[in-house]
C-alpha cells in the first residue's frame, strides 16, 4: 500500500509540471500560427515596432459600403472603416500618434464631418498630410487634425457644395420618351434627371445649398481657428496650390511625410528616428 501511495504522489507531483510545459508549448505554437497566418497583424495596427498609425483617406468619401468593381481603378473610403481604425489606434498602447494621409477630392459632407470630428476628439496627436489632393470634404477631414502639411504641388481647398447633375429630358424627347409624373407631393421627384427642373424646385435646392455652404465655412473656421469672414472669402469653390494654401492659412506648413515625422517627434518629445510609421 505504501508503494502505491508513493507512486501516486510521484504522478501527482509530475502533473503540474506537464501542464505548465503543455501550456507554454501551446502558447508558442499559437503565437507562431498567428504570425504565420497574419491573424495578429489583422488584429493590431502596431507590429511592436511602429508607433504611428496611418489613416488613409483615398478617393470618394462615403458612408456607404464599397461599390466599385475590382479592376475599375476607382477608389472609395468608407468612413466607418476610418473611424474604426482611429478607435483601434487609440486603444493600442504602442500607438503614440496618427498620420492621416489624404489623396481625395471629397465626397459626402456628413461622412467628412464625422471623420473630422472623430480626429478632433482623439487623444492622440494627429497630422493631416495632403499629398496630391485634399479638396472639399477631404479638406474638411484634414481640418480635424492637429496640424496640416501639404506639398507645394498639392491641390487644396474647394470649400463649397454642389448638387449639379446632367438632365436627360431633351435626349429622352428626341428618342420619343415621355416622363410620366406620379407623385403624392409637389417636390417628391425634384432633381429627377428625366424631367426639367422648375423654378420652385431650383429655389428649394439653392436654399439647402446655402445652408450646407454656410455650415462648411463655419466648421473650417472653427477647426482652423480662423475668422469666419476670412474663410468665407476663400469659400468660392475653387482649389489652390499648396503654396497659396499656406499663404491663406488653410495649411500649417509645406512638406511631406518626413516633415510629419519631425512634427510628431517634437510633439511626442522623442527623436525622429524613434517615430516609426505603421506602413
Q: Express each pLDDT in 92-103 by its tens digit.
A: 999 999 999 999
Torsion 10-12-17-21 (CA) sign: positive
Which of these ranges, 15-24, 95-104, 214-223, has the smallest mean pLDDT? 15-24
Instruction: Assign 27 a pLDDT band (cuts: 50, 70, 90).
Output: low
Say how many C-beta atoms besides its own lie within 10 A of residue 197's C-beta.
Answer: 16
Residue of 221 and 66 predicted with greater confidence: 221
Mean pLDDT of 100-128: 97
> For position 69, what pLDDT does the model report?
60
CATH of the domain spanning 48-158+239-279, picked from 3.90.226.10, 3.40.50.1000, 3.40.50.2300, 3.20.20.70: 3.90.226.10
What average pLDDT does the structure give for the chain? Answer: 89
> For position 12, what pLDDT does the model report?
54
Beta pairing class for 155-157 and 239-241: antiparallel
> For position 33, what pLDDT does the model report?
47
Instruction: Assign 40 a pLDDT band (cuts: 50, 70, 90).
Output: very low
Long-range contacts of 195-202 (CB under 8 A, 24+ apart): 195/169, 196/167, 196/169, 197/167
Which residue's entry shows cell 488653410?
250
Mean pLDDT of 112-126: 98
E strands of the chain, at which residues? 52-62, 76-78, 97-107, 126-135, 147-150, 155-157, 239-241, 253-254, 277-278
Is the pLDDT assigned to residue 172 strictly greater than 70? Answer: yes
Which of these ranges, 21-25, 236-240, 264-268, has the smallest mean pLDDT? 21-25
Amino acid at each position: 500500500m505504501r508503494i502505491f501511495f508513493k507512486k501516486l504522489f510521484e504522478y501527482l507531483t509530475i502533473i503540474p509540471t506537464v501542464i505548465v510545459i503543455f501550456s507554454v508549448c501551446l502558447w508558442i505554437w499559437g503565437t507562431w500560427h498567428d504570425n504565420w497566418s497574419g491573424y495578429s497583424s489583422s488584429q493590431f495596427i502596431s507590429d511592436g515596432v511602429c508607433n504611428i498609425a496611418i489613416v488613409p483617406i483615398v478617393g470618394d468619401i462615403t458612408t456607404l459600403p464599397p461599390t466599385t468593381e475590382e479592376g475599375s481603378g476607382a477608389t472609395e473610403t468608407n468612413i466607418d472603416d476610418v473611424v474604426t481604425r482611429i478607435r483601434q489606434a487609440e486603444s493600442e498602447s504602442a500607438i503614440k500618434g496618427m498620420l492621416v494621409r489624404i489623396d481625395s477630392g471629397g465626397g459626402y459632407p456628413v461622412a467628412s464631418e464625422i471623420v473630422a470630428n472623430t480626429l478632433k476628439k482623439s487623444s492622440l496627436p494627429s497630422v493631416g498630410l495632403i499629398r496630391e489632393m485634399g479638396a472639399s470634404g477631404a479638406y474638411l477631414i484634414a481640418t480635424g487634425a492637429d496640424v496640416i502639411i501639404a506639398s507645394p504641388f498639392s491641390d487644396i481647398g474647394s470649400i463649397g457644395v454642389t448638387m449639379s447633375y446632367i438632365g436627360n429630358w431633351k435626349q429622352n424627347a428626341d428618342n420619343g420618351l415621355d416622363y410620366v409624373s406620379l407623385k403624392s407631393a409637389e417636390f417628391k421627384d425634384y432633381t429627377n434627371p428625366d424631367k426639367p427642373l422648375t423654378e420652385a424646385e431650383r429655389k428649394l435646392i439653392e436654399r439647402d445649398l446655402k445652408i450646407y455652404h454656410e455650415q462648411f465655412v463655419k466648421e473650417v473656421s472653427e477647426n482652423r481657428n480662423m475668422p469666419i469672414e476670412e474663410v468665407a472669402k476663400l469659400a468660392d469653390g475653387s482649389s489652390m496650390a499648396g503654396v497659396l494654401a499656406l499663404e491663406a492659412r488653410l495649411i500649417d506648413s509645406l512638406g511631406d511625410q518626413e516633415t510629419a515625422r519631425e512634427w510628431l517627434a517634437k510633439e511626442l518629445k522623442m527623436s525622429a528616428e524613434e517615430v516609426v510609421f505603421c506602413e
